Amino acid sequence: MHIDALFASYGIERRLQVETQVSVGVCAMVATGLGVSLVDPITALEHRGGGLTFLPFEPGMVMDHGSGRSE
């Protein structure tokens, strides 16, 4: 389920101020007090111990991921 549809199904209207596709940027913005965010578990693991608090989000959501490699 898409994030907007999930929030709407609970009657919650998000107050979106800033949006980015880059997880490092999201964590940096949250660390400076600009708000909260939903991030994937890999990002949470990479940024643990950096002054941020990560909590599980329920219900679970499917997130798309990509990968790359050098030749």
* Distances 17 to 20, 27, 34, 35, 42 between C-alpha atoms, Å: 10, 15, 9, 9, 24
In whole angstroms, give the CA distance from residue 67 to residue 13: 32
Task: State the pLDDT at residue 68.
Answer: 78
Task: State the pLDDT at residue 1.
Answer: 53
pLDDT in tens, 30-62: 888 888 888 888 888 888 877 888 888 887 777
